[in-house]
Amino acid sequence: MKIIVLKFGGTSVGSVERIRKVAKIIRSYSIKYKVIVLSSAMSGTTNKLINMSKKISKNFADHEYDTLVSAGEQISCSLLAGQLLAHGIKSKSWMAWQIPILTEGKHKYSRIKYINKTKVLKFLKIGGIPIIAGFQGVDKDLNITTIGRGGSDSSAIMVAKFFKAERCVIYTDVEGVYTTDPNKLNSAKKIKNISYEEMLEMASLGSKVMQPQSIQDARLNRINIEVKSSFVKKKGTLITKRKNIINNKIITGISSTNNDAKVTLLGVKDRPGIAASIFKPLSHNSINVDMVVQNISSDGKETDLTFTIKSYDLNKTKKIINNNKKISFKKMIFDKNVSKVSIIGVGMVTTPGVTFRMFQALAKKNINIQVISTSEIKISVLIKRANVVKAIKSLHTEFDLDK
């Protein structure tokens, strides 16, 4: 049985007219494959539900949050299955608890552990097309759980894994993965093939095409993903392992963020474990610390520590640090007008001079670098937010991504 998994994002099923178009796409695959469909909620639905919960309480219970927001997928799945049935195609919508899709971990951030295939396989064998709700599951006690915003991608990857699908196609509102955000740079080009590692870095560093966790799941399970548009009939981007890719470019793509904040602690009394004392309470409060720079004074007694967080965590971070009795510092300063720009590419592993070229290109545009962070296949710099588009344009040209 040749199985293909199709996942449709919120914009793809955002209206009845769009659902009709999605149904046609599904029918085209059903000629050759047994099709399993994963659907997100209709665009805007999840946000509306979250806003309702906030009006009820600022501390809306996590288990009720999961029950509430999972309702969005039920609507889109039912409409999509109904559209297929209207054309004489055997279909049925499935919620996670009906399969079941078992998860582990905390409410709002669960992970899929196991999918019972029995009922779905039986439905496939009699010619049915199951429409499965993404983003949700149930725990061992059959409580409804969700797997994080954008989690329908992860749902699709795990369904592809458990059902041993030949392909997993993620349909969205863009034609694929681009060298950079086409809304910021008109000369951005669609990438034909990209490695899991590069896509993971791009997703983690600001590219919004796919959720980072879903890329990691695909990488671990070696599932090829095709990202394409449900609005135009064009080839998309294949996300696959490195050895399947022939690429003569050093840099594959450029990502940027728009919700960073920089925090600097001046005159921190330096001693072993001080950094852990600063970051431990932030971690316990689910605040993600990204770039970190430490400058030690000449006498070794004090240090200045700079790090970045998401801007929406700034007020909470300031409060936690000011209430932390285990650390001593002279002053705390912060800046919300910063952004991170990153170049990503497996080609930099074997190519010397990439760092120099990046820094030189930015210097020519009088863009000052505040913080630097690197890994094997990426270099990130923190700059003024006002300079982001100028930086992207300069780096896009420097590394021949315009061509």
Q: Which domains, from first to last, does the chain contain?
A: 3-173 (3.40.1160.10), 256-398 (3.30.2130.10)
- pLDDT at site 41: 96
In percent, the amount of the chain with pLDDT more than 90 equals 79
- pLDDT at site 272: 85
User: 298 falls in which pLDDT band (50, 70, 90)?
Assistant: low
Alpha-carbon span 205 to 378, nearest angstrom: 10
pTM assigned to the model:
0.84
Alpha carbon dihedral 361, 367, 368, 373, in 10-degree steps, equals -50
Q: Are 340 and 291 in contact (CB under 8 A)?
A: yes
- pLDDT at site 271: 82
243/259: higher pLDDT: 259
Q: Which amino acid is at 308?
A: T
For residue 353, give both structure tokens. Answer: 């001079």
* Mean pLDDT value across the chain: 93
Residue whose entry in the numeric block shows the structure tokens 């994080």: 148
Model pLDDT for residues 109-149, shown as the tens digit of each residue: 899 999 999 999 999 999 999 999 999 999 999 999 999 87
